Amino acid sequence: MSDFKVPFIDLQPRYAEERDEILARIDRVLSLGHLVLTQEVGEFEEAVCRYTGARHAIGVNSGTDAILLGLWAAGIGQGDEVIQPPVSFVATTGATVHVGATPVFCDVGPDQNIDPDRIEERITSRTRAIMPVHWTGRMCDMLRILEIADRHGLAVIEDSAQSMGSRQNGRHGGTFGLAGGISFHPLKNLNALGDGGMVLTDDDAVAEKIRLYRNHGLQARDDVVMFGINSRLDVLHAEVLKYRLTRLDEVIAKRRANADLYRRLIRAPEVVIPAEPAHHEDSYVMFIVQAERRDALQTHLTAAGIQTLVYYGTPLHLHKAAAGLGYKRGDFPVAEAQCDRVLALPHHQYLTADQIGHVADAVNAFYGA
């Protein structure tokens, strides 16, 4: 257990609550001798289609693979440019590089998501796709992004790793573009026992390619129609995810209530919490604020028994791995300024109102608010 009075996440109470159900499911699947791509995966895929409204959902090994396979199935590769924000987990850019394409960064807005007003100035004759990231589960303005993509004939591949259950105008994250990649990493709202992911798409040809590619290009046991990889969603994960999907709305409702309470209680004007736009329902995988004197605030909160994390202090274009892409500090001023201010507060479905009150009091006290 965490030594913090308010831990950042709490996987132990989650397991305590779900233990009987999960162990029974694992026992049932193992007793049946089901191990690889048996019916549990297909059942979970169908359940995700029903939940999100996507026509196809294809279970894969991770969110990273889901994004990579989405790009790959869209035909994006060598010589192609993919516009994306420098505020994300590194997988967005890593997946782009590993299909052979070139990531082209585009600054973000105050909400930390790609700024639709700046996308067009990043388009060149080589641009093939836009990859918006719904950071922290906060939806990008997908209607505007789709409109820009349509106007320029670009594909949209969503990094919807964090947006399972997020909606704009009632439509789910990951279902706006040609494909969307979802992550079931243990720290996401819908989480497997380890790594897992899924591609959402309405496009039959894209779905067919990804189904083949995730499983060695095998049409049948002895019929290889293309060379693929091994990126299957494991059966035990799928079985557990089937159960957890039935509880996802409950998880998101709790997280949204937590976020509301934080917003009401944090008074210090030095702390900026982007508002949720009308017609958005964000899932709050994380609760990230932008705070003046962030590092000192973090030290103060740690002393008060509150565990926080900087998510992340370095924008993607300034990592060592990006050196060859030719960016420098100053290229994306909004993202860079945010990276000096972002702080993720404890945020999970087992937080109590008292704990949230304790965090807010400590934040307000730090600024004398």
Ligand X SMILES: *Cc1c(COP(=O)(O)O)cnc(C)c1O
Residues that bind ligand X (CB under 6 A): 62-64, 88-89, 91-92, 133, 159, 161-162, 183, 185, 195, 197
In contact, 60 and 234? CB cutoff 8 Å: no
Exposed, middle or buried by CB within 10 Å (0-12, 13-18, 19+), for 44?
buried
Residue 269: count other Cβ atoms within 10 Å of its Cβ.
Answer: 9
Q: In this complex, which beta carbon is closest to ligand X, that of residue 112 or of residue 355?
A: 112
Q: Could you give the 3-state DSSP secondary structure of residue 288?
A: strand
Residue with smallest beta-carbon separation from ligand X? 63
| Separation between Cα atoms, residue 223 and residue 231, nearest integer Å | 18
Q: In this complex, which beta carbon is closest to ligand X, that of residue 69 or of residue 161?
A: 161
Provide, rounded to whole angstroms, the least separation between the CB of residue 42 and ligand X: 20
Provide, rounded to whole angstroms, the least separation between the CB of residue 162 and ligand X: 5
Q: In this complex, which beta carbon is closest to ligand X, that of residue 181 or of residue 346?
A: 181
Provide, rounded to whole angstroms, the least separation between the CB of residue 63 and ligand X: 3
Provide, rounded to whole angstroms, the least separation between the CB of residue 5 and ligand X: 27
Provide, rounded to whole angstroms, the least separation between the CB of residue 67 and ligand X: 6
Residue recorded with tokens 């009150």: 357
Provide, rounded to whole angstroms, the least separation between the CB of residue 220 and ligand X: 29
Structure tokens at 163: 């947006």
**Which strand (E) or helix (H) includes residue 340?**
none
Tell me which DSSP letter residue 35 carries: -
Q: In this complex, which beta carbon is closest to ligand X, that of residue 135 or of residue 366?
A: 135
Q: Could you give the 3-state DSSP secondary structure of residue 291?
A: strand
Q: How far is CA 123 from CA 100, 119, 129, in A?
A: 18, 7, 9
In contact, 338 and 314? CB cutoff 8 Å: no
Provide, rounded to whole angstroms, the least separation between the CB of residue 77 and ligand X: 20
Contacts for 210 with CB less than 8 Å, ≥ 6 apart: 58, 60, 69, 70, 73, 179, 199, 201
Q: In this complex, which beta carbon is closest to ligand X, that of residue 113 or of residue 349?
A: 113
Q: In this complex, which beta carbon is closest to ligand X, that of residue 252 or of residue 297?
A: 252
